[in-house]
């Protein structure tokens, strides 16, 4: 019987939410197992039941303060179905899109500048004391200010459309509750040129990083996987609405143009005993091989083209790196993320110049339905909301697959591969080695806050302790 030594990286820092990594070593310091654990519990899918349906878009945001708009809009899309709003008014759809692009912009910028750039700028092994956003402020103040101001722009767009920067209330079942005034619009038009310049600059940084470190990028947490996202009917990237497309590792279609309201026919989630986060898979490929990746990298792989000029050109360059085959490099997520940021800025500019934003026709209604499904491309990937509502307007069923959950298996593979490459067999384990593992997790920009929505698993003999550590209840009926 060999002993295992377990290293814990806890908490994972510079990600959103609460998680930890355990690395299991044998007698020879070889990595036997490495896992990413999500360690929190909410129970949202149960406690939302009984609430009136129109509360859901506001409540569900509180799963996540980083991408609240994604939950807000996805729940609103599901509730559009409940109130029978088959097609939103042009003003409502465009206001929602503006909110969504502002959100993806701020989230991607936050991840790139505030959370990940210290690794990319200073090195994975650099001094942990200054390997953070404050170090960037100190050493590269101009770049740090750009990040801060780009995020601010995105947050201000959210505030103008949703009423608040975090946990707003702008989208409602069947539409939106306000348009964008000329005065509000003009503030953004004043700065949009600057944003585009900065977005192009950020894209260059990410691209240059990839090419300057190509050998490392092509060797760091690279593994074949399927990729999934929404795409428009013509195959273009569309972050707000579309149909589901999935590719296998070789780039062949697994399915295409699937109406997202049928997602349950194609996807399922597996439960594993060591994480609160479930493991989604494509049913037709089974629970072992059916896992896939989502998010910026997956979207660059699945979409045929991008319809905004600058981001469109950037995508061609991105695809050229792998000669059109799917890109499987975890670190390429950063480049993909900056292409999307540019795409959002270009879309925001187009929308700001659209007079529909000042329209006054905000809401539609139709025949009430009992079931609503909303799907969106959130910053971190495809987000699924599914609800049932009874005749009393109360929610009776809720199931969510949050973006980060889709990447669960991929992140675990990334963690294991990097641990084996950088830690296995080493006599002494340094902070820098462990940070390599975190860099692999960070590439996916996981939102572990979101991923905690439905978790809460305990030992088979369930013991409940109060805050003072006294045992208050024990039952083992779950076995």
Residue 409 and residue 274 in contact, taking contact as beta carbons nearer than 8 Å: no
> Of 107-115, 205-213, 234-242, 321-329, which part binds other proteins (CB under 8 A)?
107-115
Spell out the alpha helix ranges (H) of 213-226. Answer: 214-217
Which of 252, 284, 390, 465 is close enough to bind other proteins by CB under 8 A?
465
CB of 80 to other proteins, least distance (A): 22
What part of residues 44-103 is at the interface with other proteins (CB under 8 A)? 45-47, 49-50, 58-59, 62-66, 68
Residue 110 and residue 117 in contact, taking contact as beta carbons nearer than 8 Å: no
What part of residues 252-281 is at the interface with other proteins (CB under 8 A)? 264, 267-276, 278, 281
CA quadruple 380, 241, 165, 277: dihedral sign: negative
The residues near 262 (Cβ < 8 Å, ≥ 6 apart) are none
CB of 4 to other proteins, least distance (A): 12
CB of 314 to other proteins, least distance (A): 27
What part of residues 279-298 is at the interface with other proteins (CB under 8 A)? 281, 287
The smaller minimum CB distance to other proteins, of residues 13 and 353, is found at: 13
d(CA 458, CA 424): 31
d(CA 21, CA 462): 23
What part of residues 131-170 is at the interface with other proteins (CB under 8 A)? 131-134, 137-138, 141, 145, 148-149, 151-152, 155, 164-167, 169
> Of 13-21, 183-191, 247-255, 292-300, which part binds other proteins (CB under 8 A)?
13-21
What is the chain's Cα-based Rg? 22
The smaller minimum CB distance to other proteins, of residues 149 and 222, is found at: 149
428-462 burial by CB neighbour count: b if 16+ within 10 A, else e?
Answer: eeeeebbbbbbbbbbbbbbbbbbbbbbbeeeeeee
d(CA 450, CA 460): 25
The smaller minimum CB distance to other proteins, of residues 219 and 271, is found at: 271
Angle at 349 between CA 346 and CA 353, to 5 degrees: 145
d(CA 93, CA 348): 13
The residues near 199 (Cβ < 8 Å, ≥ 6 apart) are 150, 338, 341, 342, 345
> Of 80-88, 205-213, 308-316, 465-473, which part binds other proteins (CB under 8 A)?
465-473
**Would you count residue 178 as binding other proteins (CB under 8 A)?**
no
What x/- string results for residues 345 through 384 when contact with other proteins is judged by CB under 8 A? ----------------------------------------
Which of 120, 301, 435, 451 is close enough to bind other proteins by CB under 8 A?
435
Helix (H) or strand (E) holding 6: strand 5-9
Tell me the site size for other proteins, rule CB under 8 A.
Answer: 88
CB of 44 to other proteins, least distance (A): 8
The smaller minimum CB distance to other proteins, of residues 118 and 326, is found at: 118
CB of 454 to other proteins, least distance (A): 4
**Would you count residue 8 as binding other proteins (CB under 8 A)?**
yes
Question: What phi and psi, each to the nearest 5 degrees, are found at residue 237?
Answer: -65, 125
> Of 5-13, 198-206, 248-256, 409-417, which part binds other proteins (CB under 8 A)?
5-13
CB of 236 to other proteins, least distance (A): 29
11 preceded by cis ω (within 30°)? yes
Residue 277 and residue 455 in contact, taking contact as beta carbons nearer than 8 Å: yes
Strands 226-231 and 292-293: parallel
> Of 237-245, 299-307, 308-316, 448-456, which part binds other proteins (CB under 8 A)?
448-456
Q: What is the DSSP letter of 449?
A: H
180, two tokens: 């964008």
The smaller minimum CB distance to other proteins, of residues 189 and 460, is found at: 460
CB of 418 to other proteins, least distance (A): 16
């Amino acid at each position: 019987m060999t002993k295992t030594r377990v290293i814990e990286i806890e908490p994972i820092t510079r990600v959103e939410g609460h998680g930890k990594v355990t690395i299991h070593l044998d007698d020879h310091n070889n990595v036997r197992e490495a896992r990413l654990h999500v360690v929190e519990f909410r129970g949202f899918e149960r406690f939302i039941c009984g609430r009136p349906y129109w509360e859901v878009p506001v409540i569900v945001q509180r799963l996540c303060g980083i991408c609240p708009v994604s939950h807000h809009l996805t729940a609103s899309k599901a509730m559009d179905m409940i109130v029978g709003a088959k097609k939103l008014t042009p003003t409502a759809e465009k206001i929602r899109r503006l909110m969504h692009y502002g959100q993806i912009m701020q989230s991607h910028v936050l991840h790139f500048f505030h959370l990940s750039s210290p690794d990319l700028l200073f090195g994975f092994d650099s001094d942990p004391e200054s390997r953070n956003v404050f170090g960037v402020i100190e050493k590269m103040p101009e770049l740090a200010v750009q990040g801060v101001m780009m995020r601010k722009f995105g947050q201000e767009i959210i505030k103008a459309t949703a009423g608040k920067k975090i946990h707003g209330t702008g989208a409602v079942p069947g539409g939106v509750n306000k348009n964008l005034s000329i005065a509000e619009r003009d503030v953004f038009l004043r700065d949009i040129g600057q944003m585009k310049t900065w977005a192009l600059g950020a894209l260059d940084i990410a691209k240059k990083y990839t090419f300057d470190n190509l050998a490392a990028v092509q060797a760091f947490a690279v593994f074949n996987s399927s990729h999934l996202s929404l795409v428009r009917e013509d195959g273009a990237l569309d972050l707000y609405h579309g149909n589901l497309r999935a590719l296998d590792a070789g780039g062949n279609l697994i399915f295409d143009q699937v109406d997202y309201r049928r997602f349950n026919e194609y996807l399922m989630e597996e439960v594993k005993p060591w994480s609160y986060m479930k493991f989604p898979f494509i049913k037709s490929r089974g629970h072992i091989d059916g896992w896939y990746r989502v998010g910026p990298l997956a979207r660059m792989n699945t979409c045929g083209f991008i319809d905004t000029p600058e981001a469109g050109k950037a995508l061609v360059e991105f695809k050229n790196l792998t000669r059109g085959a799917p890109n499987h490099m975890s670190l390429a997520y950063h480049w993909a993320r900056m292409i999307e940021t540019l795409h959002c800025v270009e879309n925001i500019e187009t929308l700001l110049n659209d007079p529909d934003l000042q329209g006054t026709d905000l809401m539609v209604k139709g025949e009430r339905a009992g079931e609503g499904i909303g799907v969106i491309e959130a910053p971190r990937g495809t987000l699924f909301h599914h609800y049932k509502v009874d005749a009393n307007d109360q929610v009776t069923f809720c199931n969510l697959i949050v973006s980060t959950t889709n990447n669960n298996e991929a992140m675990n593979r990334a963690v294991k591969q990097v641990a084996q490459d950088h830690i296995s067999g080493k006599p002494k384990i340094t902070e820098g080695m462990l940070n390599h593992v975190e860099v692999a997790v960070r590439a996916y920009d996981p939102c572990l806050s979101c991923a905690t929505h439905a978790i809460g698993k305990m030992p088979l003999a369930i013991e409940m302790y109060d805050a003072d550590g006294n045992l208050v209840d024990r039952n083992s009926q779950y076995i």
